[in-house]
Amino acid sequence: MLKTDKKQPKTKRVVRVVECWALGLSAFETAKVMKDEGYRISVHTVYNDRHSTEAQKYVDELIRRQLRDIALADLEQKLNYRDKLIGKLVPQKIEAFQKTMLTEKREVTINVNGFSPEERRFAEHLARKYIKANNQAEPSSIH
């Protein structure tokens, strides 16, 4: 039997949506789980609840409580909490992408045919400057 709207206040629904979100459930999965629990909810409502002011207030309160608990903990626990919090706040995919970009080799070819000796020296200077700025190996050839 489905719960009526009077028995499920919006705040309670929003809290449950945020809890499912924290567990890593997608909007579709959240709607399915909550329907199984007896809520009348659609995927659109899940999206709206995730970005509502009630959800933000709930998350802010949880963060405030967590920071208070960290402040009251001993030093070892404080460092452990801090490391976990930093791990959650730092986007991991961007770091992995940057590591890939740093290890990736790029080949730059500069065609200076028809350049005057002055222009050729300037092009070589720019190439070396670019290579130094991007931590790349010296060019094998400039032609």
Range 9-35 average pLDDT: 90
For 83, the token pair is 């490391």
The yes-or-no verdict on residue 86 having pLDDT over 60 is yes
Encode pLDDT of 24-45 as tens digits. Answer: 889 999 999 999 999 989 999 9
Other C-beta atoms closer than 10 Å to the C-beta of 3 total: 13
In this prediction, residue 106 carries a pLDDT of 60
Give the pLDDT band (50/70/90) at residue 4: very low
The yes-or-no verdict on residue 13 having pLDDT over 60 is yes
Encode pLDDT of 43-75 as tens digits. Answer: 999 999 999 998 888 888 888 888 888 788 788
CA angle 119, 125, 126 (to 5 degrees): 90
